[in-house]
Amino acid sequence: MYTLILSIILMTTTKITSYTLPILPYPLTALEPFISEATLRNHHGKHFAAYVNNLNRLVPGSEYEGLLVEEIVQQAADGPIYNNAGQVLNHRLYFEQFVPVSQYKAPGKRLVNAINYHFSSMDAFKRQMTEAAMSVFGSGWVWLAVDTEGRLQIVKEAGGGNPWRRGLIPLLGIDCWEHSWYLDYAFDKIAHFDELWNIINWEVIESRLPL
């Protein structure tokens, strides 16, 4: 609930003048061997940066000027502004959710209990996320999201979609675009999805849960 309230406060008080590329919270080599330095450099420094630049080019003068990316994702019609806002939000959440391998910690009790309640076990949850990611045809995302009643669910999104658009809070995202895995894993996409669990920052995921 805290996250939701904070989001509402931000939405009613913040006026955005431009969108910025967040700095990675770890070094470029920190996620190896699961995400290589080259992939991270391209994914964050080229792809994510391009979405930010596109948004800064498209939004000024539009009806969405001054809005947070969350607001654009919720309000914008399908098209370039919505697509790029979605990808800015998606990638901000995505890069925040990882931790260097050496600092990995198991998920906390609150999150484990919520996942066990909704998916029966952590292993079953991971398996369902991977299956959902493998079933995305073309580019898209898979999210663990939570609704206003605290119910966890796995949500598939095409293109640059984000659960915010349907009133859900995104907790953990799997980027199914080829740029996230092809350089490191080539045709072995499922290995990438399976190995992401080694670098999830569960404290960040739990902090996104409403209180």
CA-CA distances (angstroms) from residue 66 to 55, 169, 196, 210? 12, 22, 35, 26
User: Binding-site residue total for Fe ion (CB under 5 A)?
Assistant: 3
Determine if 175 is a binding residue for Fe ion (CB under 5 A): yes
Q: Which of 64, 95, 125, 177 forms a contact with Fe ion (CB under 5 A)?
A: 177
Distance CA(203)–CA(48), nearest Å, equals 23
Give the residue with the Cβ less far from Fe ion, 81 or 176: 176
What is the Cα–Cα distance from 102 to 97, expressed in whole angstroms? 15
Among residues 162 and 180, whose Cβ is nearest to Fe ion?
180
* 184 near Fe ion, rule: CB under 5 A: no
CB 141, CB 90: distance < 8 Å? yes
The stretch near Fe ion (CB under 5 A) out of 60-68, 118-126, 139-147, 173-181 is 173-181
Interface segment toward Fe ion; rule CB under 5 A; list 32-40, 119-127, 164-172, 180-188? 180-188
CB 203 → Fe ion: shortest distance, Å?
22
Residue 47 amino acid letter: H
> Closest CB to Fe ion among 71 and 175?
175
**Which residue, among 36, 44, 134, 55, has the nearest Cα to 96 in the 3D structure?**
44
Under the criterion CB under 5 A, does residue 98 sit at the interface with Fe ion? Answer: no
Contact 129, 144 (CB under 8 A): yes
Which residues here bind Fe ion, judged by CB under 5 A? 175, 177, 180
